[in-house]
Structure formats: structure tokens, C-alpha cells
Amino acid sequence: VPMSIAVGLGVDEVLDGWRQDAGIAVITTILFAAAVGGASWALYRARLRKLSTMEELADTLNFNRQIIEHSEIGISVHRQDGQCIQVNPALSAIVGGTQEELLQVNFRNLETFKQSGAPELAEDTLKNGLELVEDTLKNGNVHRLQAKAITPFGKELWLQWTFASFVERGERFLLALLRDVTAIQVAREELESANIQLRLLSTTDGLTGIANRRNFDEVLAIESRRATRQSQPLALAMIDIDFFKAYNDHYGHQDGDECLRQVAGLLKHCICRAGDLVARYGGEEFVFLCPATTADTALALAEAFRAELEKLALPHAQSPFGVVTVSIGVAAMVPDNTEQANCLLLRLADEALYLAKRDGRNRVALGESNQ
């Protein structure tokens, strides 16, 4: 009888091989999927970064646009051929033209400025501005220009431009920034005027309008140094109104002040060469200082003034002459040093004035050391 032998394998034994092959397949599949997934993730992340960059760029462009649109500084952009391609509302508000009109402006065609309704600029300002613009476009230099402009309605404006350039897609553009600095300029001019007035007040005699004692002392020091350095003569005259106290007592201080103004005005008229200085020295005393002037010339100037005042015939009831007169002491020298001019010259002129009074007043005398 034939015999059949059945050989049986356990389930685990049967599946071991399959599991091994399947494991390899699964691992391979997972690795492949991982590889494909990794590439996809990398692409996804790159796309996210790109989108993020684009969003940031858009945000930046929007931010810049908001700045330009809401800036109080006028902004315009021009091509190299001069044509304006962008303006902001502030520019329109400053210069007066509409944005549409300003976009027609070409800085290489001056007629377009007039047609835009923009303020009128002087020809030399336009020429200077164009030269700065050309240098900005050619060399990339930043320039600033400030000038006065007249609006079509006749209003004066002070405008300040800043010219810069930038490159976009290989083409250079002009960026023009414009500020209305009228208020600043007006304030500056008012300050300068106030400073001038302050200097005048500090150096001018309030009653007579000529230089005061302080101004005289400063100019004497300056001219003394100059005369010493250049070995030139320096002349000084001291003037005293004769019997002025009696004049004040008789006519009153108001008329006395008017008398001082009349004398000062005539003195300024008579001593009027370039470099000459007339000043109120104090009370009824006046002085004049003449650089590069000899004693003879100073005497002639003093005598001419004395004679003109006598001819003016201002009434003086308390004077033996019947009119307002002056006594004058003159001194002149070539100083060896500044101290000598400041001290000795004043002393000599004062001594000469004493001589003029001693000898009867209404006359001119020369310092004794110069005789």
C-alpha cells in the first residue's frame, strides 16, 4: 500500500519569508514616500518663503507709498530726459499746481514750469538748479538749493530743494524733495533784523542817532592798531557846546535835546569821509575821529564845522555870541603803539579843548605838543 507522508509547516514558518520580503518592500516604500515628501515639503517651504518675501515687499511698497502720499515734503520723480513721472499731494499743495499739471513738467523745458502754475523763479536760480540736477544725475551727488519764488498770485515763498538720484532696472532717476521754508526764512530775517537793531541800540546814541561813547571807544582801539601798523596819522577832535548849561536852564531840556540833535546832524554832515566817525561823547560833548588824517587836515575839518554851526544861527540868548557855538580841541599823531593812541591822543585833544575855552570859546585849538 502506497504511503503518503504529509509534511506540515507552522504558520509562523510559512509567513517568515513573506514578512521578510514585505518588510523590505514596506521600508522601501516608506523611504521613497519620505524622499518624495521631503522634496515636496522643501518646495512648499520655499514657496512659503517666497510668498512671505512678496508679502513683505508688498507691505514695504505700501508703507513707502503711504509715506510719499502723506508726507509734508513735496516729492517728485523725473526721468533723465527731464519728464516728471510721479508727484505727491504735498508738492501740489506747496507749489499750487494740480498733480496732473505737475506731471507735465519737464525740467529740460522751462516753459512747462510756467504752464504748470508753479511759482516763478529767477533765471539765475533756474540755471543754478539745472546745473545741480545735471551733476546729481551724472555723478550721484546730493545737492540742496534754497531760493525765493513768486506764486501766480504774487505771494512770495522761500523754497528749499534737495536733489538726489536712484537707479531702478538700470535707469537712473532724479528724486526732488521740496520744502516750504518761508516761515523759517521769515523768522530768520526777523531775528537778523532784531540783532541789527540790538547792535544799533548798543552802539548808537538814542537821542542824536550818531555813534555813542562805547562805539567810539571800540573804533578808536581799532583805528589805533591800524595807524600803528601802517605808520599813518590818526586825528581826533573833542567838541563842547558853549554855555550849554545856561541854554538848558533858559530854554528847557526839551529844546536842549533838540539843540543836541541839530549839532549832531550838522557834525555828521560835515565829517563824512569814508572811515570818519562822529560820536556823542557825553552830555554836550561830541568827538570826531579821522584815520589817515594829518593835524592840518583835521584843523580844517573842525573849523569848517564850527563855521557852519555859527552860520546855522541857532538862537542862544544866554551866550555872548547870541547863537549856539562850539569850542573844539584837535590832536593828531602817528602812534608808536595802541596804548599811546588811546591815551595820549585823547589827552592832547582834551588839552586843546581847554585851550579853546580859555581863549574865549567859539574857536578851534590844536594840542600843544603838535604846535
Grid cell at residue 255: 529844546
- Contact by Cβ (8 Å): 226, 291: yes
Instruction: Classify residue 328 as exposed, middle or buried by CB count within 10 Å of its CB (0-12, 13-18, 19+).
Output: buried
Q: How far apart are CA 142 and CA 367, in angstroms?
A: 65
Catalytic status, residue 284: yes
Q: Which of 284, 285, 308, 310 is catalytic?
A: 284
Instruction: Classify residue 260 as exposed, middle or buried by CB count within 10 Å of its CB (0-12, 13-18, 19+).
Output: buried
> What Cα–Cα distance (Å) separates residue 122 from each residue in 78, 119, 149, 175, 280?
22, 10, 7, 22, 45
Closest CA to 333 of 236, 255, 233: 233
Which residues contact residue 68 at a Cβ distance below 8 angstroms, ignoring those fewer than 6 apart?
75, 88
> Which residues are part of the catalytic machinery?
284
